[in-house]
Amino acid sequence: MNRSAGWSAMALLVLQAFPATALDRPVVWRDEDTGCAYLLTPQGGISPRHRRDGSLDCPDVTANTGVVENMGRDIARGLDALQREVERLRERYNNRP
């Protein structure tokens, strides 16, 4: 490789890395009222912060997650029971003399 090609390759690498280094890292901010965490960028952007499991970084999220899951299971059980009852009534209606 000649010298000018080496400098060109080096300049290309530096230019490709420059835009990524221009971005500042977001800062974590926690709301005092809710306790939820947010990411603030120096450019003025804001977004909710998520945990590794994908849930929001809020104190009440873990407590509410169990409630919603339990409610979903209860609804599914209720629908199953309702479906069995409808099938039983259908058979009873179809078997009438």
pLDDT reported for residue 84: 92
* Least trusted range by pLDDT, from 3-7, 58-62, 70-74: 3-7
- pTM attached to this predicted model: 0.42
Mind spelling out the 3-state secondary structure of the chain? CCHHHHHHHHHHHHHHHHHHHHCCCCEEEECCCCCCEEEECCCCCEEECECCCCCECCCCHHHHHHHHHHHHHHHHHHHHHHHHHHHHHHHHHHCCC
Q: pLDDT tens across 39-66, in order?
A: 998 888 888 888 887 778 888 766 555 6
Distance CA 68, CA 72 (A): 6
The answer to which of 13-17, 28-32, 35-39, 92-96 has the lowest mean pLDDT is: 13-17
Task: Answer yes or no: are the C-beta atoms of 69 and 58 closer than 8 Å.
Answer: no
